[in-house]
A and B are shown apart, each in its own frame.
Chain A
Amino acid sequence: MVTKKEIKLSFFIALWFIVLTFPIMVIKVNTITHIVDFRWANIFWVGITSFFASLIWNYFLRMKEEKKKTETNDDVPFVHRMLQNQKIKTPFLAALAVFFLVYPFVFPMYHTSIMISALVYVMLGLGLNIVVGLAGLLDLGYVAFYAVGAYAYALLNLHFGISFWVVLPISAALGAICGTLLGYPVLRLRGDYLAIVTLGFGEIIRIILENWDDFSNGPRGIGNIPAPSFFGHQFEQHASVIYIYFIVIGLVLMTIFFVGRLENSRIGRAWIALRDDDIACQAMGIDKFKTKLTAFALGATWASIAGVVFAAKTSFINPMSFTIWESITILCVVVIGGMGSAIGVIAGALVLILLPEYLRAVAEYRMLVFGALQVIVMVFKPEGLIQSVRKIYKFEKVEE
């Protein structure tokens, strides 16, 4: 129940909010008639809303504290518990598979198209998850590699007529090379410094694309990028979207598969060790630099692949698609979804990308909602929507 203290606190918070929002909520200057309007009724609404919001907030905070006291640290997230139970796992995965299979045939093209971009973000999120979530390197210029992939397809196709399927592996290699080249000088830095340098690098790539007219066609971008073909056959528009949808599904599955394997391998463990304690990590015989570089290069590889898909889907790219906001969005996907947790990142991408698309009505407040969501997740579930869970190894007692 709500305590007296909380009510008192909420009352003062409401008062504070009234003062804080007074200039924007109450005062309104009518510039035509030169009259200042005082909308006194708004005081009431601001007061009521902030009062109850504060009550609810404090209630949940208290619940969280109490939960912490009673429970041990090892509560396995709901989704993982379901996946560990074989009886539920199979039907759950089957239902999921059926849903994604029939999705493009049931829903109109618009929805399929939105789902494609959400799935592209799943790939981006899983790629960045390697860098940020597993290896603990804060990369704010991740979008640069996304741009590398997209421009690789656009330019190779424009100049040499190379098809989607050939560009896919080329761009993956290109992404890895770019990741290594950038990583080499940059990875000597750590923490905040690394974040700033990668942020700068991301912007450099965008500015080059914007200004090097002969190379990238500048801000006008590159149009008429062909959609992928099916053994030489080009689909008409609607079928093409569905086709791309299935390609993306395939790529996402591939990503989940490979990233999952990496996570529980020698390399993956080294990444996590590096994130948790870099001094101990090195003292255990792990080459810090090489480990960082592999994480960076692999993350870049997936961003690059996602970039190719993006270019093929939109059929037009220009530097405006690769601003710092893209990097931030992908980072949000990873952080809100759950650092280091593949399932969390997938959920995070679907929520963060699909939600704004369907809430177009409040599109103006998108960033506000994003921010609020971040605050809520950080306060109540700092480990993300779905926390990562380490692999369990089974041992039979060896008889002497």
Chain B
Amino acid sequence: MEPILNVKNLTMTFGGLKALDTVNITVEKGQIAALIGPNGAGKTTFFNCITGIYEPSEGTVEITPPGKPTQKLNGLKTNYVTERGLARTFQNIRLFKGMTVLENVMIGRHCRMKSGIIKAMLRPSSQKNEEKKAIDDSYEILEKIGLDKYVNEMAVNLPYGAQRRLEIARALATNPFLLLLDEPAAGMNPQETNELDELIVWLRDNEDVSILLIEHDMKLVMSLSDNIHVVDYGKKIAEGTPQQVKSNPEVIKAYLGDESEDA
């Protein structure tokens, strides 16, 4: 398996603070990978670096979309990163509040559509077809995610769990090959978390996307992930299968603290 995301020596400094320190992470095709670590370890910073919200201080981010050559993502603006097939969700829900559920998903289709101002005003058949296709595609995605009953609801009026799922639907609409989920289960009740678990596996198996997720819910992470990366204080301290990570002394130390330190 060749990696589809290959992050080498990623370093991000804010002033004197090293939020990320030479982190190496690879994600392979068809994998569900997880990035875990205590609060403030630099997980979201890592996401922000690869999706272009921050420009990394050092290191390279490379992607290999299926059937395409490897390319570097460093310094690309967020929207170009998304165009190249990396879609993300946010830790704190960032839906478009003034729009319906369907329109939220249609925004995801934006970068796969072409019509400009003139076409929008004159509505030639090419624009109409494109628009219709976008609506149908979006609806299809909503059906898959199980949100089709909310189609014309305003996004803010959705229950919390559904809002989280809508974020995933919206990201999926951009046709990604790698989905980056930032704490998708945060604030969910056990039942919603179970549904999310199923959804993520289903996405990997049926939608041809690989998944990299940040999550604090250890039960979810352990049951889902093929490969887990652990970071602490901006440094990667471990990598491996759930079993390996669970028994890694470094990881236990990061989460529970070092006994000898207190002595």
Contacts and interface: CB of A to CB of B under 8 A. Distances in A.
Nearest to A259: B121
Interface string B108-150: 1011110111011101000100110011000100000000100
Interface string A255-281: 000100110011111101101110111
A188 B176 CA distance: 28
Contact of B98 (A262, A282, A340): A340
Contacts of A258: 121
Interface stretch (A50-58, A80-88, A284-292): A284-292
Given A265-B115, A277-B96, A284-B110, 4 more contacts: A261-B123, A265-B131, A266-B113, A277-B97
Interface string B136-177: 000100000000100111101100000000000011001000
B117 A277 contact: no
A269 B99 contact: yes
A298 B107 CA distance: 20
Interface of A: 72-74, 258, 261-262, 265-270, 272-273, 275-277, 279-288, 294, 298, 340, 388, 390-393, 395
Interface centre among B111, B112, B117 (most CB of A within 10 A): B117
Contacts of A282: 77-79, 82
Contact of A276 (B78, B99, B121): B99
B94 A279 contact: yes
Contacts of A283: 51, 53, 78-79, 82, 87-88, 90, 94
Interface residues of B, number: 49
B100 interface: yes
A147 to B, nearest CB: 24
B61 interface: no
Nearest to A395: B139
B162 to A, nearest CB: 15
Contact of A273 (B77, B96, B117, B123): B96
A279 to B, nearest CB: 6
A283 B111 CA distance: 11
Contacts of B154: 73-74, 390
Interface of B: 51, 53, 77-79, 82-83, 87-88, 90, 94-100, 102-103, 106-108, 110-113, 115-117, 119-121, 123, 127, 130-131, 134-135, 139, 148, 151-154, 156-157, 170-171, 174
A280 B90 contact: yes
A265 B126 CA distance: 13
A395 to B, nearest CB: 6
B95 A280 contact: yes
B90 A288 contact: no
A267 B119 CA distance: 10
Given A272-B98, A279-B53, A284 B139 contact: no
A280 B108 CA distance: 10
A383 to B, nearest CB: 10
Contacts of A74: 153-154, 157
